[in-house]
Structure 1
Amino acid sequence: MDQVVTASVHQYNQDETKSSQTGKGQRNFVNLPVLHPERLKTAKVLVEKAVKMHKVFSVQGPYPVIREALRARGWVEQRMHRSNHCAHQCHNNDSRATSVDAADSDDNSDDVEEEQDPDGLYDLMSRLVRKEIVYFYWTNRRDAINTNNLQKEQITNHFAKAGSFTTKVGLCVNLRNLHWFDSADPDTFFPRCYRLGAQDEKHAFIEDYRRTACTSLLKYIVEKEHGVQGERRSHNIASIDDQRKQSKSKPMVLSQMIDCALKVCQEFLESLEHRDIDISLDTAQTLTKEEWAKFIDSYYLVVHGGAELENSDHFVKCCKTMLQRMRQVSPQLDIDGMHNIWIIKPGAKSRGRGIKCAKHLDHILRLVNSDTTLMKESKWVVQKYLERPFLVHGTKFDVRQWFLVTDWNPLTVWFYKKCYLRFSTQPYSLDTLDSSVHLCNNSIQKHLRPSQQRHRGIPADNMWSDDQFRTFLSNQGQEDQWETVVVPGMKKAIIHALQTTQDLMESRKNTFELYGADFMLGRDLRPWLIEINVSPTMAPSTHVTARLCAAVQEDTLRVVLDRRIDRTANSGDFELIYRQAAVEVPQYVGVNLLVEGFKIKQPCPLPPLRSSGLSAPKHRGLVKEKDPAVEKGKPLPKVLLKNATTQLKTMRCSAPLPHHLPPEPTVTLHIETLTFHLPSDYKQVHSLSH
């Protein structure tokens, strides 16, 4: 070790001298640190101990908390220099926006922060372990490390193939399979979602949009009767006339609209009860394309345009009755609102980029058809927008909730007890669909100035901790709702999302991953899962995130490192909420299958011959014309008889022998050595089957 230290110090001095001469280094000759003998001795002791205990780590990205926490535990960093980092990358900067990690991550920074190392101790220790094996990797990108090249003892903070639930498309598709894993209904915690690139889902979305327009009209009639005006838009007569001029068909009268809406809802209820299977397509009472166009145009004028209606008092009762029936089978009826707003998300972008809200069907379809690449790859996702969220001082917000997965077999999930809220900069309103009102991503809102009309109780940095929100609920008389409704709902949604993708994940031991789930709360405080992010941002953007992000990183190391040594170690604010029973996986036997055997030396006798009264069986296609000489019983020549007898003695298998041939010849079985070569993709097929 002394020779390694001496050589490393010599190389360190050469590198620093070269940097000062070329001017390309970060240090110059004037401010080169002085390496005292005592400092070298300290570095040697720390490095020796770390190498002996397999405590060499590498961090890529701005994670000073992780570095400090590992060093406090006796770990030494092998710095991932920029050149080495680039060698690990699978995509360049131009393709980063379309990679899987970029699509599901909200931490896209690859720059390492300027570290305070005035005496050069950390730099020297890093050089001393530059050829040692790294036993702990923490990166902000999954493709920075190839897990197939890692040894069993090496730890990394990313699982492979997490796109099955951390992408918008993956979460949309896999939650539909929840009924195979649990009795829960995804419609109770995940807003219904469709891939517009798939034709069958595109048609399903159009049907859903039309049906939602029908229920929205029924709500409008009922709430108008009860004087609910909070979501109505005020338009002057001119704007209504303009909409009527733009309409392609003549608007329907109210009675016709309600009849159509009730008929569509009734047919939907019958389809759920399977009472429509005996109805032929010719006699089905669905609306024609022209009738739908007329209904949707009239719906726009009434609900969106605020057109005046005829007296609708006698329609209220039947509308109420139908909505009550629909509410029993549609868990999302309360969050749908009346404006039929949907949110369109390009699956290949993150941090709110490209996300738009729309309420006109033709606008939604035109928007997604404009990008043929995303349509071809089925990456356009349209999801029902929560029109009636829980508001704080009239402002929309979402909740960032962390959770940690330490194993996929058995599935082990840790839930963080702390979270934070992200507010929009504008008061909530459906008069505009601008992102400043409806998207709460900090990457979007931090560039906007808070509105003067927003309540003064919302902080300028647009963030609250969960403690501040609980105080707000307490002032509203809903303090118990946090522990009885919000937290249990978030836990169940996370567990269900992971259950549906467990079989698609590559379960590697000594691997963990921290995720960030985004939730919205309905008016009843029920949480709705919006998306799950890999590599959630840990930037201390506000005083709230500066405290909570540092705590969650420290507690993550407590779970994945401290508990490896002591199972009773403190896990911080992480709570184990799910641990599945382990599923045994058959041992992999390799690619080549070899079967060996030996020749059986002892002959086995044939079964006894049948009696002479039984004739040998005849085989079709082999029977020749009868020989008259043989038919008369003329004996065969002796030469032919001798040859036939010799052949029968050497036969391995034979049909039952005629009674006039020599009895009981012996049969010898030969077993040769066989080698079966399986296809090269056997390992992949084998792992998927289990």
Structure 2
Amino acid sequence: MRVNVSMEAAGFGQSVHLSQDGQQPTDGCHSLRPDTTRAEVKVILPALHPEGLRTAKALADKAVKMHKVFSVQGPYPVIRAALRARGWVEQRFHCSKQQHQSSESRFSSNDASYSDEETSDNVEKEQDTDRLHNLMSRLVRNEMVYFYWTNRRDAINTNNLQKEQIVNHFAKAASFTTKAGLCVNLRNLHWFDSADPDTFFPRCYRLAAKDERHAFIEDYRRTACTSLLKFIVEQDKDIQSKGTAHNIQNVQDQRKQKKQELKQLALSQLIDTALKVCQEYLESLEHSDIDASQEASQTLTQEEWAEFVKSYYLVVHGGAQIKSSNNFVSCCKAMLQRLEKVSPQLSIDGVQNIWIIKPGAKSRGRGIKCAKRLDQILRLVDVDPVVIKDSKWVVQKYIEQPLLVHGTKFDVRQWFLVTDWNPLTVWFYKKCYVRFSTQPYSLDTLDSSVHLCNNSIQKHLRPSQQRHRGIPADNMWLDNQFRAFLASQDREALWETVVVPGMKKAVIHALQTAQDLVESRKNTFELYGADFMLGQDLHPWLIEINASPTMAPSTSVTAHLCAAVQEDTLRVVLDRRGDRTANTGDFQLIYKQVSVEVPQYIGINLLVRGVTIKRPCPLPPLRPSYHLAAKRRGLHKEKDPAPERVTPLPKMLLRRAGLRNNSSEALPSPPPPPLEACGPKQVELTLNLPTRVNKPVPFNRASQFEVLSSRRAEVSNVCLDNI
């Protein structure tokens, strides 16, 4: 049975369909809460009186005049209630059925899942039962919205917003809210600060990039060497503490097989190789290997590395029993002490060499797996060519020795707020909460129920019977409950001296590296959720940063804290706009950068400046001697030319003419031609020489002399004619 009740008289312009149990079906964007009863709906049905209409119109006109029209997308009842209490009027966020379906498809894809919101939370689960607010929303449907709160960054195009409109998402912020983006950006921290990212962020690699893939393989092999040294030292401690040989429990048939394979393994050679690799790593950090050749710097070949890793699996992963001497133990301890001074992550590596593989752009623990063998890690990544092409897979060193609460793993969810990127302004929330796993911590299994603390995963699992009774059934603690646990171990002071300062520094450094990549816009803010793991010394390690952190009241812990952080966010964003001394709740300003002046863009103004380049003088071409002499005389006309000496005839011609080459018998030389005649002009001499001789002509010395004399006379006559 279905009843159709028209509410047009109340100014809603729509019909409400009630099912037999009194609930309203979902229309694609809005739905009633499951606990809505028929009695509650009956109170809403009567139409408003004229007095109520006048009140709604007056309040709507006042909100429009004061620029207090807001729009909310998603299940945020706390935001709606807080804004209405401040005199704001809501304009319903328009969401068609097609847009809703496309939004669901985006959440299921690999590329756009930057949000920490649950998929089921994207559908709005609340209905406003206040007739007055519904009517005011109808009255301001065509007015400008001055405050947007959405659960998706791409729901609003910030380029179309005016200056005074406020929105809760920055554009291009995926550079640090994705695992791949955070992995890449933190490597550039040395350009922004003197801090080392290895002190707060477990080393991470993108396996789709060839250079990073190679760097990961080297890191895995080097970590296998340090893990072997740790294994030898820890085994020696167990032997000394128990007084008996250390036996690793394993299946009997596998243990016998491993012991037979280990007989062929020289333990001394294995440890010596690990020590050499660690020594080479220390020398590379000191830059003492710069002068060494590439062949000399490679300790092992590919075949030797494969054999070493196989032997490492037998010793550490296979559970084979070995006997180590005191000499080996002392060398391993000495090398580990040297590595501890230069490797800040040595304490979290452990002996299993476990790595965690994550899709670079997914949230809520989807697709995350743990693996300890190199071939398994590479095979997991290579199985999806689409994700490989987009460079979305990252592999990160797993924290094998975390701080445990009653033998159970946990992580910390910490909120922070960014209200500006220039100058960078960061607000840190003073309260946080702890999320537990449903299973006791163990490295014998790599199941997600043990190693992932995301509530979206653990809420579907039943807590283990072996888990400590001190862990609550909803798998969450408030921060003061965790501090009480630390107080029971006399470590409560470390919360304020180690944990909180470490989380603040990690957040600031992550934002510094992304400052040049995020599109800064005034009247924009964004709330983020950071996940931290704590080491055994309570040192915080940043795991990831989530945009649009979930605000669903899934437990009693989140119901209290999520409502408080939303209310305090509005205090910082709205209340401080008019009063800088306004109460900001539990938000604390921890960082405000000096403002950087950005030059004003006045359009394209191109200007080219330069100097002329002189053309180099080429070498002079080879010319006859009389051409060069004429050129020199032309350049120096003011000087009298020196008399040109006549070159005597060759001896051969003189002999043929029957003369001797002496001064008495030399031919008389004619006077040199004037400068004007022979200088600028060129004299052409045409010699009519026979090209073919039919018969030999007898040589006559007298006739030859006459020919030469006549030719010389012709040259002189030509010069005289020119004069």
Q: TM-score per shorter chain, which class?
A: 0.7 to 0.9
Deviations 1:456-487 (A, max 9, x none): 00000000000100011011100101000000
Deviations 1:393-422 (A, max 9, x none): 000000000000000000000000000000
Q: Does 1:33 align with 2:31?
A: no
Deviations 1:474-529 (A, max 9, x none): 11100101000000000000000000110111110000000000000000000000
Q: Report the residue type matching 1:475 in the other structure.
A: S
Question: Equivalents in 2 of 1:542, 1:104: separation in Å?
Answer: 20
Alignment match, 2:253: 238
Deviations 1:547-580 (A, max 9, x none): 0000000000000000001000000000000000
Q: Report the residue type matching 1:177 in the other structure.
A: N
CA contact (8 A) 1:400 1:519 kept: yes
What secondary structure sits across from 1:74 in the alignment? coil
Cα distance, 1:342 vs. partner? 0.3
354 and 619 in structure 1: CA distance in 2 versus 1, 3 angstrom threshold: closer
Q: Does 1:512 align with 2:510?
A: no
Deviations 1:247-296 (A, max 9, x none): 8x996221111001000000000111111122212333511122111211
Question: Equivalents in 2 of 1:263, 1:594: separation in Å?
Answer: 59
Alignment match, 1:399: 412
CA contact (8 A) 2:148 2:166 kept: yes
Counterpart pick for 1:61 among 68, 71, 74:
74
Alignment match, 2:172: 161
Question: Equivalents in 1 of 2:16, 2:327: separation in Å?
Answer: 90
Alignment match, 2:109: 98
CA contact (8 A) 2:115 2:152 kept: no
Counterpart pick for 1:589 among 580, 592, 602:
602
Task: Work out the percentage of aligned pairs sharing the same amino acid.
Answer: 69
Matches within 5 A, 1:120-269: 120-227=131-238, 234-242=249-257, 252-269=265-282
Q: Does 1:113 align with 2:128?
A: no
Q: Report the residue type matching 1:428 in the other structure.
A: Y
What secondary structure sits across from 1:282 in the alignment? helix
Matches within 5 A, 1:544-559: 544-559=557-572
CA contact (8 A) 1:240 1:301 kept: no
Cα distance, 1:354 vs. partner? 0.5
**Structure possessing the higher radius of gyration over alpha carbons:** 2
Alignment match, 2:392: 379
CA contact (8 A) 1:90 1:143 kept: no
63 and 243 in structure 1: CA distance in 2 versus 1, 3 angstrom threshold: farther
Q: Report the residue type matching 1:160 in the other structure.
A: A
162 and 621 in structure 1: CA distance in 2 versus 1, 3 angstrom threshold: farther
Structure 2 unmatched runs, 5+: 1-6, 19-24, 33-37, 608-616, 638-674, 679-723
Question: Equivalents in 2 of 1:450, 1:95: separation in Å?
Answer: 32
Cα distance, 1:312 vs. partner? 2.6
Cα distance, 1:86 vs. partner? 5.7
Cα distance, 1:593 vs. partner? 4.3
**Farther-moved stretch of structure 1 (376-385 vs 93-102):** 93-102
219 and 73 in structure 1: CA distance in 2 versus 1, 3 angstrom threshold: same
Matches within 5 A, 1:659-678: none
CA contact (8 A) 1:169 1:381 kept: yes
CA contact (8 A) 1:97 1:349 kept: no
What secondary structure sits across from 2:175 in the alignment? helix
Q: Report the residue type matching 1:453 in the other structure.
A: Q
What secondary structure sits across from 2:72 in the alignment? strand
CA contact (8 A) 2:259 2:320 kept: no
Cα distance, 1:81 vs. partner? 2.9
Question: Equivalents in 1 of 2:324, 2:528: separation in Å?
Answer: 53
Question: Equivalents in 2 of 1:18, 1:571: separation in Å?
Answer: 40
Question: Equivalents in 1 of 2:253, 2:216: separation in Å?
Answer: 33
Matches within 5 A, 1:218-367: 218-227=229-238, 234-242=249-257, 252-367=265-380
Matches within 5 A, 1:34-53: 34-53=47-66
Question: Equivalents in 1 of 2:236, 2:218: separation in Å?
Answer: 28
**Farther-moved stretch of structure 1 (266-275 vs 233-242):** 233-242
CA contact (8 A) 1:50 1:76 kept: yes
What secondary structure sits across from 2:537 in the alignment? coil
What secondary structure sits across from 1:389 in the alignment? coil
Cα distance, 1:243 vs. partner? 5.5
304 and 50 in structure 1: CA distance in 2 versus 1, 3 angstrom threshold: same
Q: Report the residue type matching 1:451 in the other structure.
A: S
**Farther-moved stretch of structure 1 (95-104 vs 448-457):** 95-104
What secondary structure sits across from 1:179 in the alignment? helix
Cα distance, 1:233 vs. partner? 5.5
Alignment match, 1:427: 440
Question: Equivalents in 2 of 1:144, 1:580: separation in Å?
Answer: 29
Question: Equivalents in 2 of 1:538, 1:565: separation in Å?
Answer: 27
Deviations 1:373-393 (A, max 9, x none): 111221110000000000000
CA contact (8 A) 1:107 1:140 kept: no
463 and 17 in structure 1: CA distance in 2 versus 1, 3 angstrom threshold: closer
CA contact (8 A) 1:426 1:450 kept: yes
Cα distance, 1:121 vs. partner? 1.8
- RMSD of the TM alignment (CA)? 3.2
Cα distance, 1:227 vs. partner? 1.5
Question: Equivalents in 2 of 1:167, 1:377: separation in Å?
Answer: 13
Question: Equivalents in 2 of 1:360, 1:314: separation in Å?
Answer: 29
CA contact (8 A) 2:11 2:135 kept: no
TM-score, structure 2 normalization: 0.77
237 and 419 in structure 1: CA distance in 2 versus 1, 3 angstrom threshold: same
Q: Report the residue type matching 1:141 in the other structure.
A: R
What secondary structure sits across from 2:104 in the alignment? coil
Counterpart pick for 2:461 among 443, 448, 451:
448
CA contact (8 A) 1:50 1:75 kept: yes
Question: Equivalents in 1 of 2:86, 2:395: separation in Å?
Answer: 47
Question: Equivalents in 2 of 1:268, 1:394: separation in Å?
Answer: 35
CA contact (8 A) 2:171 2:518 kept: yes
CA contact (8 A) 2:11 2:138 kept: no
Q: Report the residue type matching 1:219 in the other structure.
A: K
Question: Equivalents in 1 of 2:598, 2:320: separation in Å?
Answer: 64
Alignment match, 1:598: none
Question: Equivalents in 1 of 2:16, 2:79: separation in Å?
Answer: 32
What secondary structure sits across from 1:48 in the alignment? helix
Question: Equivalents in 2 of 1:339, 1:276: separation in Å?
Answer: 29
Question: Equivalents in 2 of 1:42, 1:434: separation in Å?
Answer: 59
Question: Equivalents in 2 of 1:594, 1:292: separation in Å?
Answer: 58
What secondary structure sits across from 1:508 in the alignment? coil
Alignment match, 2:712: none
Cα distance, 1:349 vs. partner? 1.9
Deviations 1:645-672 (A, max 9, x none): xxxxxxxxxxxxxxxxxxxxxxxxxxxx
Cα distance, 1:39 vs. partner? 1.2
Alignment match, 2:539: 526
CA contact (8 A) 1:233 1:305 kept: no
79 and 282 in structure 1: CA distance in 2 versus 1, 3 angstrom threshold: same
TM-score, structure 1 normalization: 0.81
Question: Equivalents in 2 of 1:518, 1:403: separation in Å?
Answer: 11
Cα distance, 1:237 vs. partner? 3.3
14 and 227 in structure 1: CA distance in 2 versus 1, 3 angstrom threshold: closer
CA contact (8 A) 2:258 2:320 kept: no
Structure 1 unmatched runs, 5+: 1-8, 596-617, 635-690
Q: Report the residue type matching 2:249 in the other structure.
A: S
